[in-house]
């Protein structure tokens, strides 16, 4: 009975309100259907900070560059530009030339006029991150690079309490002509271009669209990308459809040498016009069981990241289960540039601070986290212990680096707390703070099953250490909002790099990034100095040494307890063609096709 009810729930979530099953089946002939486990927030690049909204936004908005879908090692190539940008020898000046003949999707804001993409659109879209109105969570990426004049303009207008002046020209960001824009920086930035391969960050927007929709622009994404938004029921269902105005782009991917599977796929699809799908339907199914059953019942075409709860069923011994292989399903296994961590709010009176006893408290808590048990019982062996905040698949990750970050040593943790006065002073069986005040941790969490399992481990670990811990449950977007506002004591999340470089991770500890990527609000002058020095260096041994020093400081002060680097597996139905994982490509849908005949054969 329970399985029947869950299947019925999954089926209902796969259909739009009022949409009959027969209608859905017809639409699904060239439709990719799958589910997010976390709700989206909005689709405005200037406001997005979460993975799921970013994933959708890249279907609408195009950056000047993109990562080649099948290329390994990872490499960038032109997207809306006619060639790779011109870069000055000192890595301070970047000149982009837009390809003529690219058009935005039709929208009432254009008053029936076909609207071409021009250089001024990228200038405007970048400036929007500096406009306080939009509260950009990614402004730090641009400010850290030092675009000449923009931060100064922002500060001037904030002080004068004036709206942001988009028409004020600044030295560091200018349209040189209709199709050319240039960025000038105050300091060298050898990896600055990575930012321009993310449509959910610097994707081109039309000013008239933003001004037309105002504060509701996050509900009305209009870009030059391969899809447009057809339906959206917040936190429930997102439907994308092919953008008729999308230019002619042909599939021309090159598979890695020796990978016969991908070479076969690349050969099969070569020359096909993109996108190949007509429609994408995304449901929000937060619980893992109905999401898995929906896929198993053939109601979804893709299981995006096999839930850890079902790893032993879907991929026993990290191989696709024989029964699923007989059903024609395929698996794609990969590691991301990823960390899963818990942070301590460094400005919180209980767990924050830089005094020796505060550092000792955080390090003791970190040493009491039983990672082996967490990986085995909660993550079902789909992760490896992390030694530092730098994730794999990035320049600067060192698999030989070892640290206290992964250690589980309860006796040492207790000794640290005893040494610094975190002992039971009132005889109630729980440790108190050195001044006698109660020691109570508050950990933010979500209502999904894996989050519940993770906080069970936290409760077990802290009970063993003699520290009381309480849990504050809210939906993920609510916790994100509270975290950015500095209102949480502790929270556990994942962090993914959108570029193959360690800066994304060490930037988590950079003081000026507080309230943006730096959720812990860590601000140590010694760390900031190291971070700033590595940022302007080209890749090489000197930069590697500085990144190692930054990692050691983050381990020593423990603003983040980094738990693991996660391993992921996607599973597709037999009729899904061309699906692969490039961890730095979010706009992968345009490379995927559905074979209706194959679907009909398997569903017969």
Per-residue pLDDT tens over the stretch 497-553:
989 999 999 999 999 999 889 999 999 999 999 999 999 999 999 999 999 999 999
Do residues 548 and 413 both lie within one domain? yes
For residue 197, the domain's CATH number is 3.90.76.10
* Peptide bond just before 73 cis, omega within 30 deg: yes
Q: Do residues 527 and 553 touch, judged by C-beta distance below 8 A?
A: yes
In a domain, 28, yes or no: yes
The alpha carbon dihedral of 157, 159, 160, 162 has a sign of: positive
Do residues 266 and 297 both lie within one domain? yes
In a domain, 445, yes or no: yes
Q: How far is CA 462 from CA 286, 364, 386, 431, 459, in A?
A: 27, 10, 20, 10, 5
In a domain, 231, yes or no: no
Pairing relation of β-strands 560-572 and 330-335? antiparallel
pLDDT in tens, 475-494: 988 999 999 999 999 999 99
User: How many structural domains compose the chain?
Assistant: 3
Q: List the domain range (segments joined by +) for residue 399.
A: 338-566
Do residues 559 and 577 both lie within one domain? no
| pLDDT surpassing 70 at residue 7 | no
| pLDDT surpassing 60 at residue 310 | yes
In a domain, 307, yes or no: yes
| pLDDT surpassing 60 at residue 10 | no
> Where are the strands (E) in 269-401, listed by range?
273-274, 279-284, 302-303, 330-335, 338-344, 383-385
Pairing relation of β-strands 237-242 and 227-233? antiparallel
Average predicted confidence (pLDDT) for the chain: 93
pLDDT on residue 261: 86
In a domain, 410, yes or no: yes
Start-end of H helices in 178-231: 199-202, 207-213
In a domain, 19, yes or no: yes
pLDDT in tens, 286-295: 889 999 999 9
Q: Cα angle vertex 52, ends 46, 58, to 5°? A: 60
Do residues 209 and 277 both lie within one domain? no
Averaged over 422-445, what is the pLDDT?
Answer: 97
Q: How many helices (H) and strands (E) does the chain have?
A: 21, 22
Do residues 317 and 368 both lie within one domain? no
| pLDDT surpassing 90 at residue 309 | no
Do residues 220 and 265 both lie within one domain? no
* Peptide bond just before 275 cis, omega within 30 deg: yes
pLDDT on residue 498: 86
Do residues 480 and 464 both lie within one domain? yes
In a domain, 56, yes or no: no
Do residues 309 and 385 both lie within one domain? no
């Amino acid at each position: 009975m329970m399985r029947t009810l869950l299947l019925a729930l999954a089926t209902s979530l796969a259909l739009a309100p009022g949409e009959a099953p027969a209608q859905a089946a017809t639409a699904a002939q060239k439709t990719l259907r799958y589910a997010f486990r976390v709700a989206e927030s909005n689709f405005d690049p200037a406001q997005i900070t979460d993975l799921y909204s970013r994933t959708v936004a890249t279907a609408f908005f195009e950056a000047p560059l993109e990562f080649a879908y099948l290329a390994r090692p990872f490499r960038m190539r032109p997207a809306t530009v006619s060639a790779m940008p011109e870069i000055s020898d000192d890595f301070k000046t970047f000149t982009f030339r837009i390809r003529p003949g690219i058009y935005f999707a039709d929208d009432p804001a254009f008053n029936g006029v076909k609207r071409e993409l021009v250089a001024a659109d990228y200038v405007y879209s970048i400036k929007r991150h500096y406009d306080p109105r939009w509260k950009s969570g990614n402004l730090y990426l641009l400010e850290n690079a030092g675009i000449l004049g923009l931060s100064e303009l922002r500060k001037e207008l904030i002080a004068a309490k004036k709206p942001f002046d988009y028409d004020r020209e600044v030295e560091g960001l200018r349209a040189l002509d209709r199709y050319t824009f240039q960025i000038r920086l105050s300091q060298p930035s050898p990896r600055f271009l990575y930012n321009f391969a993310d449509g959910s960050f610097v994707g081109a927007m039309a000013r008239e669209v933003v001004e037309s929709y105002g504060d509701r622009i996050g509900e009305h994404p209009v870009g030059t990308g391969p899809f447009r938004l057809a339906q959206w029921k917040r936190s429930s269902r997102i439907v994308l459809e092919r953008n008729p105005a999308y230019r002619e782009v042909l599939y021309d991917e090159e598979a890695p040498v020796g990978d016969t599977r991908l070479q076969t796929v690349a050969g099969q699809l070569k020359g096909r016009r993109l996108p190949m799908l007509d429609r994408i339907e995304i449901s929000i199914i937060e619980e893992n069981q109905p999401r898995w059953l929906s896929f198993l019942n053939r109601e979804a075409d893709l299981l995006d990241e096999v839930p850890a709860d079902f790893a032993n069923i879907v991929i026993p011994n990290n191989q696709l289960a024989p029964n699923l292989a007989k059903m024609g399903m395929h698996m794609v296994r990969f590691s991301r540039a990823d960390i899963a961590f818990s942070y301590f709010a460094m400005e919180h009176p209980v767990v924050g601070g830089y005094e020796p006893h505060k550092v000792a408290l955080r390090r003791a808590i970190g040493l009491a986290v039983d990672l082996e048990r967490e990986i085995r019982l909660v993550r079902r062996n789909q992760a490896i212990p992390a030694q530092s905040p730098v994730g794999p698949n990035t320049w600067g990750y060192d698999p030989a680096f070892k640290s206290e970050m992964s250690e589980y040593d309860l006796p040492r943790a207790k000794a640290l707390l005893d040494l610094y006065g975190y002992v039971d002073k009132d005889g109630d069986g729980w440790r108190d703070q050195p001044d006698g005040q109660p020691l109570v941790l508050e950990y933010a969490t979500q209502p999904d099953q894996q989050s519940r399992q993770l906080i069970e481990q936290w409760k077990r670990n802290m009970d063993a250490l003699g520290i009381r811990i309480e849990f504050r449950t809210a939906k993920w977007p609510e916790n994100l909002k509270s975290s950015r506002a500095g209102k949480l004591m502790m929270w556990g999340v994942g962090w993914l790099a959108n570029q193959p470089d360690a800066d994304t991770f060490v930037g988590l500890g950079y003081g000026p990034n507080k309230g943006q990527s730096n959720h812990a609000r860590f601000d140590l002058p010694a760390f900031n100095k190291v971070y700033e020095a590595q940022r302007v260096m080209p890749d090489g041994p000197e930069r590697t040494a500085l990144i190692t020093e930054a990692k050691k400081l983050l381990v020593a002060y423990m603003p983040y307890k980094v738990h693991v680097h996660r391993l992921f597996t996607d599973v597709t139905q037999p009729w899904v063609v061309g699906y692969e994982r490039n961890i730095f490509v979010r706009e992968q849908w345009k490379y995927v096709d559905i074979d209706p005949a194959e679907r009909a054969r398997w569903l017969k």
